[in-house]
Structure 1
Amino acid sequence: MKSNEFTIDYHLRSTWLAVQKMFNEQAAQFNSTMVMGFTLLSIDPKSGTPSTSLGPKMGIEPTSLSRTLKNLEERGLIARKPNPEDGRSVLIILTDEGLKMRDVSKQVVLKFNEAINEKITAEEMSIFLKVIQKVNSITSDKKLFNKNKEPQF
């Protein structure tokens, strides 16, 4: 099978794995991971973020988020405080060190975006984003696999 014959999921997966590897290599220089950096970027730097909204915001499972938050807390990058708005939930707050690491993560993401924008024209990016939006729309179609008949295995 030639590379252009691979299915779309192959191209999506291999591209994402390459991006993930690149971000993890950068994060490793700071004894961190891509997920830790993404978590720091997902926390509001001024007012913090309710722990219950982080998982959905990031698109990760609660157990994975819990493990990541525990790791960030042990490293002194975040703190948990009662949410003053409801008293029951917990706010995740960035510490001074967490704010520094968040800035490092932000710079890495911006550098990658800058490199992409240097190599990909505005027209190509527009087409790419339209295609990605369509792919996302297709993947969220709950009837996708029930339209005609059950798959034959």
Structure 2
Amino acid sequence: MTREETIDHNIKTTWHAIARMYNQQASKQDITTSIGFVLLNISSREGTPATKIAPLMGLEARSLTRVLKNMETKGLIYRKPDEQDKRSVRIYLTPEGKQKKEVSRNTVLRFNEEVRKRIPQEKLDVFFDVINDVNKIIENNSIYD
């Protein structure tokens, strides 16, 4: 079996192509794809607890900390103690953060619309079934036992 025939190779190369495309769009806004995805996971109205963002994105908290510091430096977010739980910190979007979130949202929507325009729904249904099955296999984590 060649690497081009492996499941993981195809998922990885496709994701890298998507990330490159998103990074090209993000760089026009002076942000990164990572920042764009974080923006999409912060509530525009009530903010989001800092501890909830990493799990939403499948990231480690340490990785997110660097991105959040960068976003704060760029003036996209600010932190505030949670009103109900003073031990917790909420992340809020600044007006510029809200504008960049909208750009990020439109970028993702445009890509998805284009894919849905070009690929029949039946094929997308099979794709989603397969991806869900692959995720279940990984979650089972009994592959190498």
Into which bin does the TM-score normalised by the smaller protein fall?
over 0.9
1:54 aligns to what?
53
Deviations 1:41-60 (A, max 9, x none): 00011100000111111111
1:28 aligns to what?
27
2:11 aligns to what?
12
Measured at CA, do residues 119 and 137 of structure 1 come closer, stay the same or move farther in structure 2, by a change above 3 Å? same
2:88 aligns to what?
89
Deviation, 1:81, is 0.3
Q: Distance in 2 between matches of 1:31 and 1:64?
A: 20
Structure 1 segments, 4+ long, off by >4 Å, are none
Say how many residue pairs are matched: 145
1:150 aligns to what?
none
Q: Distance in 1 between matches of 2:75 and 2:99?
A: 11
Q: Distance in 2 between matches of 1:144 and 1:6?
A: 19
Q: Identify unmatched segments of 5+ residues in structure 1.
A: 147-153
Deviation, 1:6, is 1.8
Deviations 1:49-79 (A, max 9, x none): 0001111111111121000000110111100
Q: Secondary structure at the residue paired with 2:126? A: helix
Q: Identify unmatched segments of 5+ residues in structure 2.
A: none
What letter matches 1:59 in structure 2? G
Deviation, 1:142, is 2.1
Q: Distance in 2 between matches of 1:94 and 1:16?
A: 27
TM-score, length-scaled by structure 1 = 0.91
Q: Distance in 2 between matches of 1:2 and 1:108?
A: 34
User: More displaced, 124-133 or 5-14?
Assistant: 5-14
Q: Distance in 1 between matches of 2:77 and 2:125?
A: 37
Over the aligned positions, Cα root-mean-square deviation in angstroms equals: 1.3
Q: Distance in 2 between matches of 1:2 and 1:87?
A: 54
Q: Distance in 1 between matches of 2:108 and 2:53?
A: 19
Deviation, 1:83, is 0.5
Superposition pairs of residues 1-150 of structure 1, within 5 angstroms: 6-146=5-145
Q: Distance in 2 between matches of 1:102 and 1:2?
A: 40
TM-score, length-scaled by structure 2 = 0.96
Deviation, 1:135, is 0.5
Q: Distance in 1 between matches of 2:84 and 2:123?
A: 45
